[in-house]
Amino acid sequence: MEKNREHDRPRQYYEYGAFQSATARAEVWCSNGNQEQTVQFQLKAIDVVTGWSQTIVSRQVVLGENRSTEIWSGEIPGPDKEDAFDSFAPTGTIVLHAAVTRQNGEVTMYDDWPQPYKFLDLPDPGIKIDVHEDKVVLRCEKPAKGVWLDVDGADDGVVWGDNSVSEHSALD
C-alpha cells in the first residue's frame, strides 16, 4: 500500500469511479428479429490475469419473435480471494463470454471486458499459432482483446475469413 501524502486513504478506497465495489453484477439479454427459435446459450467468466474460468450457465433458451429475452441476471463469479489478482475486488479482471448457438450451427458471441478498459494492465495471453495447410489456428491461455494477422508480400494469394472467431471449442 502506497500513499502520496500522510492523510491519503489506503488503495482499497480508490477505484475507477466515485464509489467502491468489491463485487459486480450483470444482466444478459438476447435480441431476436426472426421467428421464435430455441438456441443453446453458454455464459463463462474468465479472469484475464490468472486464467481462472468458470461456466456460469449453459442451457437451452427460447427466444421470442421480434423481442429481447432476459437470459441471465446475477453476481459475476470470480476466483477465491487468495487466488485472485486483486483480493479486494476479485471480479475486477473478469471477462464475461456469451455464446449463442442456433439450431443450424451458427454461433454468435459477445465478450464483456472490465471497464474502464484503459486501466487494465493485461498480461501476455499466451497465444499459440498453428498452420495447417489452408488454416491458421490460434489458441490462447487467457482472453485476448484483439489479434492482428497479416502476411508479408503483395501477391501472396492469402484470403482471410470474416476476421472473427469461427469456433469457441477452446472455451468449453
Per-residue pLDDT tens digits for 116-139? 777 778 888 899 998 888 778 888
Q: Which amino acid is at 117?
A: Y
In the chain, where are the structural domains located?
Answer: 11-121
Read off the amino acid at residue 123: P
Which residue, chain included where needed, has cell 468458470? 54
pTM: 0.74
CA distance 56 to 74: 10
Let me know: does 49 contact 123? Beta carbons within 8 Å.
yes
Average pLDDT over residues 142-152: 81
- The pLDDT of 97-115, averaged and rounded, is 90
Question: So what's the pLDDT on residue 10?
Answer: 55
Phi, psi for 12 (deg, rounded to 5): -65, -15
Cβ-contact 88, 22 below 8 angstroms: yes
Whether 171 shows a pLDDT value over 50: the answer reads no
Contact (Cβ atoms closer than 8 angstroms) between residue 1 and residue 11: yes
Q: What is the largest CA-CA distance in the chain?
A: 64
Decide if pLDDT at 5 tops 80: no
H/E run at residue 95: strand 94-101
The answer to whether residue 172 scores a pLDDT higher than 50 is no
- Please name the CATH architecture into which domain 11-121 falls: Sandwich (2.60)
Provide the grid cell at 7: 492523510
Reported as a pLDDT band with limits 50, 70 and 90, residue 23 is confident
pLDDT at 114 over 90: no
Residue 159 to residue 172: CA distance in whole angstroms:
28
* DSSP, residue by residue, 42-70: EEEEEETTT--EEEEEEEEEEEPTTEEEE
pLDDT (tens digit per residue) in 81-97? 888 887 777 888 889 99
Pairing of the two strands 53-63 and 67-75: unpaired
Number of Cβ atoms within 10 Å of the Cβ of 125 = 17
